[in-house]
Amino acid sequence: MALKTPEQYEESLRKMNFKIYLMGERVENPVDHPIIRPSMNSVKMTYALAQNPQHEDLMTATSHLTGKKINRFCHIHRNTEDLIKKVKMQRLMGQKTGACFQRCVGMDAINAVDSVAFEMDKKLGTKYHERFIKFLLMMQEEDLTVDGAMTDPKGDRSLSPGKQADPDLYTRVVDKRKDGIVVRGAKAHQTGALNSHWILVMPTMTMTKEDSDYALSFVAPADAEGILYIYGRQSCDTRKLEGGEIDVGNKQFGGHEALMVFDNLFVPWENVFMCGEYEYSGALVERFAGYHRQSYGGCKVGVGDVLIGAAALAADYNGAAKASHIKDKLIEMMHLNETLYACGIACSAEGHQTSSGNYLIDLLLANVCKQNVTRLPYEIARLAEDIAGGLMVTMASEQDLRHPEIGKIVEKYFKGVASVPTEHRCRVLRLIENITLGTAAVGYRTESMHGAGSPQAQRIMISRQGNLDHKKKLAKEIAGIKD
């Protein structure tokens, strides 16, 4: 197969048997559930664009294993051009969906596991990389969506995994058998988990010897027996149950997060890529985080393009587009957005080859990229809200606009520029609300802060990789200081 069609992807999800709870009820059909469906549409777009000759260069790649054309989300980066195309693809996806399209985490996970598993095998004589390649071949051939699962609930942050009052607050091995392992615990904030075919689990932090049971990486079918999902709430999510389209802002696309619970999940040894090798847990976390922090220089920029366009439309519809301060705010939004993109491209262009042959981004610049993402989208969102005006959050409902009696009143008093239909103004204001405050804020505003690690996590990596001693040496040479 190598490349699934969008229709084949949707049909593949219908054949899965997820155990999902949403708002206290079991969801039997997640594909058609009105709250979940928009997020599936976003993933579906990754399959649709790969079929489009116009976007083939960005959306597809050539497998280094088979030589076949595959979806770039299933690709192991082979050079810096691949890394750059990844960021450009993510910007395109953000532009097309205005939301989180969810396959980035799995792409970043396979690239991190590839090099770390290779290095483990080389030093320890394990067979992890061999197992991983077998899984990767299946992933590429079947064009699978894989959920990268790293973040544990963590409980009391002042305590290590093994010293928690409840040891299951970090995902761990509870039993090793001849044919596999048994896993218990959970992964939180799992992006697109219910739109995925498989999950790829990784440790959430650098583990020590005493916490070696938590140094764990494996794959499992997303609907495997022993996996339970509890769907995460988003602001304004129940608007999707109302049957309208204006008030949701972005009716077609969205993202989702879920709590993924492992209740004595059995994993065959052939699907295990790390089991107790705590010395390599830090490298896996660091590389995955680096790849994922690079990703934000693409996806958030694409959604930012949509938000900037919506703000510009709002200014047009409000009759304020010619005001100098509006023009200046739009320029500032574009400047900030392109700054994020520049960081994503820079860390890609400065990438280097690992021992397994895949390419790793420049980790320092990737962390700088994500550190900027924790700040600049907030300013872009603030400026968009400023341009939009207060009506964005006080506007009457779509039901009122459609009402046979009061609809005419809404139409009359929510009018902006006379030549623009009131409905158009309502639609663009709801889109801005959706991206900055509503369901899409999970994939833009709030996720910009905590996705791929907290701001402090990036600052730690910047401190570690910033090579301050080298900078001191440079200053000494210029100043003529001799030790």
Does residue 74 have an active-site annotation?
Answer: no
* CA dist., res. 216 & res. 117, Å (int): 12
Residue of 60, 145, 191, 354 marked active site: 191
Q: CA distances (Å), 284 to each of 210, 370, 377, 451, 459, in order?
A: 18, 18, 28, 17, 18
From the candidates 9, 214, 278, 296, give the one annotated as an active-site residue.
Answer: 296
SS3 state of residue 176: strand
CB atoms within 10 A of CB 339: 14
Residues 323, 302: Cα–Cα separation, whole Å:
26
Catalytic residue among 299, 343, 369, 426: 299
Could you say which of 74, 100, 343, 426 is catalytic? 100
The answer for 24, left when phi > 0, alpha when psi is -120 to 50, beta otherwise, is left
Sequence-distant (≥ 6) Cβ neighbours of residue 391 within 8 angstroms: 414, 429
Three-state SS at 51: coil
The residues that bridge with 181 in the sheet, in sequence order, are 176, 267
Is 100 an annotated catalytic residue?
yes
447 catalytic, yes or no? yes
Q: Is 292 a catalytic residue?
A: yes
Catalytic residue among 47, 189, 292, 385: 292
List the helix and strand counts (H, then E) for the chain: 17, 14
Q: Is 191 a catalytic residue?
A: yes
Identify the bridge partners of residue 175 per DSSP, sorted by sequence position: 182
Q: Which of 277, 286, 398, 447 is catalytic?
A: 447
As a whole number of angstroms, the distance between CA 105 and CA 291 comes to: 9
Catalytic residue among 47, 214, 256, 257: 257
Burial of 228 (0-12, 13-18, 19+ CB in 10 A): middle
Please say if 270 is a catalytic residue.
no
296 is catalytic: yes
Residue 245 phi, psi (nearest 5): -140, -25
Q: Which of 104, 275, 347, 369 is catalytic?
A: 104
Active site residue 28: no
Cite the active site residues: 100, 104, 191, 257, 292, 296, 299, 447
